[in-house]
Chain A
């Protein structure tokens, strides 16, 4: 193993990222050749808890059960099929090079690393690109109805941050189809009895015995009862924490609580500040609004983004005196095409989001709030015909029309950036193991592959790579030592203690009986996050956010009101427990953003930009993943750094212009 280590501020080595020896292209092969395996008879004696049934969780649970392990799988929804991966629209990347347009494993690796603004781990990203092709094969075999050409072969589309077409898709419902594929594989194992499924169960803590993760405490969301589960290893694929912003494209129940529980039990939280703001979302329209809706990045294949060239036109549009269709070609500013001629409308998400914000801040925004830009299909409809556009994006257009009550075939869509995905998450080594032995973290919940910005169609790739092809190998390297360890009783004192702590926390929340609803406090937190820890961040703003979040925490614990009983189905209590953790996450995000005195990917510090307004990285000082260690309630966390030493790629300033 080469030395890739997490170091503290004092540079003392703490933990090994366990990057295997060899050339980039040989690392994963070398790892698999040298890792320990568990024989079939022993697999039956080992229990694995998998929390989450999204792409990562479901694919991991199914694959581990197929191998012969006993799997306990948990989800908070009423069915595994409803995990938020279902909502992913555009597609999944793979380096198949079916289009003969020059794609390769290396190019997918390079695009992903560059797209992440050189803040991801080289070896992990290469492995991701390496297994990407198997994912497509696997999903086809499961009966996933990917889009096909007339000759019967798989079709591709283009996505941001790439100059090749490598995105596989199933209309605008790719996440749905991939998740249903993983769900069907999971269901097959549930039917066989190799996976025991617990729906409407929410993990509330991880149980540590002698320094290893050996179980979880979960709340049965139907009865409200606290239940205990033990296993030899715990895998968490609980998704991202974007709902700390209240308004995001995440589903309403997406939360960061499992991540916070792991963090509080010793797992490091890495790069919490790296959150992705997606450029093409339906703009905010009212204070009653509960969530934001994403319009797939795939729309940027055929849609052109613009604002009026003249301020007075923008003003007239905002006042409803002028329609976008009234503006002549020469009065429109296609600002992405203007600023980034090489990639045009297909620049990465962080770049597109910032460019939209820049135009709106400068007074060229449209919509009644001035916080919107146009995504226009007029040219494509002229070029391809309405039928082709409908076939490609029909369901998205329909979704838009239902929400906005406007026909995007006739007038351009209005879009604005919104929080969509969190690249940060629980720190994992090359084996996807956290800093707690036996505790693994997969999918969006970990920090591993996307650096400071995720490219479109890469979340599905990473979730399924982790679940189908990486974790089922790496977890065996851990479990091989555990074959003599008997099953754990949930009567052990460690379980008692964990359950007591949870029960106390719930009692405390129920006892506040204050005046504020959970949602009203969550909204307040969200506004602080959006205003000061959102698209443009600066030192003063972040310091202000930290103060405000302290106050919100105090408000929550002294003035929240949760009606009903704890031992019952109680949605307000569920939300309260999550919001308590969002407050912790919000603080961690602000702290991390304050620390990182550079701009990279989705993290834009206004003090650090080029003359042209592009993100200005500082590789000398910040080429590391920041890893935060919990030191107890009310204590400042300690920062550790995983230095990101690149052996194979030279860091450059990202350039999407030429």
Chain B
């Protein structure tokens, strides 16, 4: 049932990429447990604006868990403690009256802070640009049913393709590795007939771009899988490793 709670927030404030950041403490009263986490931040921002202070900068957009724009490190977990949940889907009913909630941006070499809780995830786009596609131009394509695809393969590819590119995997990883993100894309195409032609080149290009952009290595701790809001399995990392090894043997 809906009720109202009082909470204390410790939020990372940082004016710019090169500025020094620090935690600020805010108190909020009468927050409805039916409101979402981001709606709670809206309430805080509305209050800050009323007090003629600068509101907290945070990324968000669709607020239904699919665009991948939101991403806050809440009480030590990317997207908070709920499983399979993005920050925007987290609701205040998961918190208790009197709780102190710590909110930080993603912290990773690959994702420099822009302002407050907003980071630059442009590196993910660069990794996709390096090979996360099937090289087909528009037009002149055979019928969609020309190549049957076994249902379980299509489903597994869909599991991988569910990645929303939020970066929680990187934020969760003690090495700051982007392996789960890269693996999800490589795996999606490796499972489908359309991805076969560029299979070898893709794995190599995407992994080397990831390394170049300052993401760490994978040491199989599995934190990424545990924190992924879309429950992307680390079995895709195993597939990426196989793809990468095969590619290297071909060199």
Contact = CB atoms under 8 A, between A and B. Distances in A.
Given A62-B138, A84-B61, A561-B49, A77 B148 contact: no
B89 A402 contact: yes
Interface string A132-157: 00101111111111111111111000
B53 interface: yes
Contact of A143 (B122, B164, B195): B195
B67 A77 contact: yes
B133 interface: yes
Interface string B137-161: 1110111110111110011011001
A78 B91 contact: no
B137 A66 contact: yes
A540 B85 CA distance: 45
Nearest to A191: B129
Interface residues of B, number: 78
Interface string A60-101: 001100100000000001111110101100000000101000
Contacts of A289: 35, 39
A290 interface: yes
Nearest to A63: B138
A80 B151 CA distance: 29
B122 A78 contact: yes
A403 B89 contact: yes
A288 B114 CA distance: 28
B141 A199 contact: no
B61 A251 contact: yes
B91 A403 contact: yes
A183 B151 CA distance: 24
A253 B69 CA distance: 11
A487 to B, nearest CB: 25
Contacts of A469: 138-139
Interface string A553-572: 00000000101100011011
B158 A145 contact: yes
A154 B69 contact: no
Contacts of B195: 143
Contacts of A561: 49, 52
B55 A572 contact: yes
Helix, strand, loop or mixed for chain B's interface? loop
B211 interface: no
A566 to B, nearest CB: 13
B232 interface: no
Interface stretch (A38-46, A168-176, A499-507, A587-595): A168-176
A170 B155 CA distance: 9
Interface in B85-106: 85, 89, 91, 93
Contact of A291 (B48, B63, B145, B157): B63
Nearest to A137: B141
Contact of B42 (A136, A144, A153, A290): A290
Given A185-B138, A469-B138, A572-B55, A145 B157 contact: yes
A262 B139 CA distance: 30
Contact of B162 (A173, A190, A290): A173
Interface string B110-151: 000011001011101100111111111111011111011111
A388 to B, nearest CB: 14
Contacts of A402: 65, 85, 89, 91
Contacts of A141: 134, 136, 141-142, 194
Contacts of B158: 145, 147, 170-171, 177
Contacts, number: 216
A151 B152 CA distance: 11
Contact of A399 (B64, B135, B139): B64
A146 B154 contact: yes
Contact of A147 (B38, B57, B125, B154): B154
A402 B65 CA distance: 11
B115 A79 contact: no
Given A86-B67, A288-B32, A564 B129 contact: no
Contact of A140 (B42, B84, B194): B194
B201 interface: no
Interface in A328-353: none
Find the residue from B32, B54, B121, B154 having the highest chain A CB count within 10 A. Answer: B154
Given A79-B121, A563-B52, A569 B194 contact: no
B134 A519 contact: no
Given A78-B59, A84-B67, A86-B66, A185 B133 contact: yes
Contacts of B36: 290, 403
Given A146-B154, A405-B91, A569 B55 contact: no
B244 interface: no
Contacts of A176: 66, 162, 164
B24 to A, nearest CB: 15
- Which 10 pairs between the two chains have the least Cβ-Cβ distance? A152-B148, A184-B133, A191-B129, A145-B158, A137-B141, A140-B144, A63-B138, A145-B157, A251-B62, A251-B61
13 contacts: A137-B144, A142-B194, A152-B151, A180-B161, A251-B61, A251-B62, A251-B63, A289-B35, A402-B65, A403-B89, A563-B54, A569-B57, A572-B49
Interface of A: 59, 62-63, 66, 77-82, 84, 86-87, 96, 98, 134, 136-154, 170-171, 173, 176-177, 180, 183-185, 187-188, 190-191, 197, 199, 222, 251-253, 285-286, 288-291, 293-294, 398-399, 402-403, 405, 468-469, 472, 517, 519-520, 561, 563-564, 568-569, 571-572
Given A151-B148, A188-B133, A563-B54, 13 more contacts: A81-B125, A82-B61, A98-B145, A143-B157, A173-B66, A173-B162, A187-B125, A286-B32, A286-B35, A402-B65, A468-B138, A468-B139, A561-B52
